[in-house]
Amino acid sequence: MAFLRPLARAAALCLTAISLSLHADAASWSVKKDPARLVNGSPLLLTVKPPVPLASLNGTLLGHTFAFSYDPKNKSWNALAGISLEAAPGKASLELSGETAPTKSRPSAKVSFIRTLQIARAKYLKIPLSVEKKFTEPSPDEVKEIEAAQAVKKDYLGRVSPDREWTGKFSPPADAAISDVFGTQRVFNGVAQSTHQGLDFRVPTGTPVAAMNDGTVLLARPLYFEGNFVVLDHGQGLLTLYLHLSEFKVKEGDTVKRGQIIALSGGTGRATGPHLHVAVRWQGTYLDPATLLKLPLP
């Protein structure tokens, strides 16, 4: 068996050479982020061009792990990620890891790379609002309704599919002016109670609401604060949420396409009047829908 030892040493030297080669090529990794300026609450598109052909690529950022998809047209790897509202300003490490594509002369090998990203603090507004007393001082029976709704959301919002269903850019759910933006602190009846985690469109009751991208209807039912509520699962932990609706046009389990009408707008739930509230949730954290709509997703 002694004759096998030189072969083993040669194989080890070969793998070491591959590892050293990949390490030496680290400077040639190309990592592009969009938007260029990252703030807390922002979704981001990562476009990576590694120095060698890869069979797979994954990323980790601020405790979130996500998979990249290969774009053969641009010969790049793309992933949608996000930075939570609670993220502190400063430096954050984007960790990339994958495997090289095997060839006839070289087996696959693990490869990794770290890029430091800078996160800034976004400036969000504070606005006063007046709503019915039951939404700020609920009765015991209303508290039970709230708890039941929270249990439904905890259950269903965790049921996300691992495979990507969305494709291309996200589209606005309605052609209308924006009445309130993401990140504002909501002061209901004089008491600061929540942060606005979505985007509001100024639309009258009965306005058609369109799916922002391809997906599956995860939830379509009335809840206490949300009113008539639709959630679309776009895969890989990405959800879009549509609140205060007057009428459903889809049911749970339906498959929908971008632009398909899923509901009519309204003023149900905790709402100061008819409008459409849309939220984006990625791996359990809410992100700015306005930024998502601007990303040049492949």
13, pLDDT greater than 90:
no
Tell me, what's the pLDDT at 10? 46
Tell me, what's the pLDDT at 128? 58
Q: What is the pLDDT of residues 21-44, one digit of tens each?
A: 444 355 689 999 999 999 999 999
> 3-state DSSP helix/strand/coil percent for the chain, to nearest 5?
15, 40, 40
In order of 71, 78, 132, 177, 221, the CA distances from 74 in angstroms are 6, 10, 53, 35, 41
For the domain made up of 4-120, give the CATH fold. Immunoglobulin-like (2.60.40)
- The CATH H-level superfamily of 126-294 is Glucose Permease (Domain IIA) (2.70.70.10)
Could you tell me the pLDDT band of residue 130, with boundaries at 50, 70 and 90? low
| Predicted TM-score (pTM) of this structure | 0.86
In order of 12, 34, 117, 151, 156, the CA distances from 37 in angstroms are 43, 8, 10, 36, 33
In percent, the amount of the chain with pLDDT more than 70 equals: 85
Tell me, what's the pLDDT at 16? 42
166, pLDDT greater than 50:
yes
Tell me, what's the pLDDT at 4? 45
In the chain, where does the domain assigned CATH 2.60.40.10 lie? 4-120
* Mean pLDDT within 164-179: 96
Could you tell me the pLDDT band of residue 17, with boundaries at 50, 70 and 90? very low
Token reading at 296: 């040049």
Could you tell me the pLDDT band of residue 80, with boundaries at 50, 70 and 90? very high
135, pLDDT greater than 70:
no
Q: What is the pLDDT of residues 177-218, one digit of tens each?
A: 999 899 887 665 555 557 889 999 999 999 999 999 999 999
What does the mean pLDDT of the chain come to?
A: 88
Tell me, what's the pLDDT at 14? 47
* Mean pLDDT within 102-125: 91
**Could you tell me which residue, 99 or 193, shows the higher pLDDT?**
99
User: Which amino acid, 72?
Assistant: P
Tell me, what's the pLDDT at 259? 98
In the chain, where does the domain assigned CATH 2.70.70.10 lie? 126-294
73 CB neighbour count, 10 Å cutoff: 7
- The contacts of residue 53 (CB under 8 Å, 6+ apart) are 100, 101
**Could you tell me which residue, 118 or 196, shows the higher pLDDT?**
118
CA distance 276 to 22: 50
**Could you tell me which residue, 284 or 139, shows the higher pLDDT?**
284
CA distance 81 to 113: 17
Tell me, what's the pLDDT at 79? 97
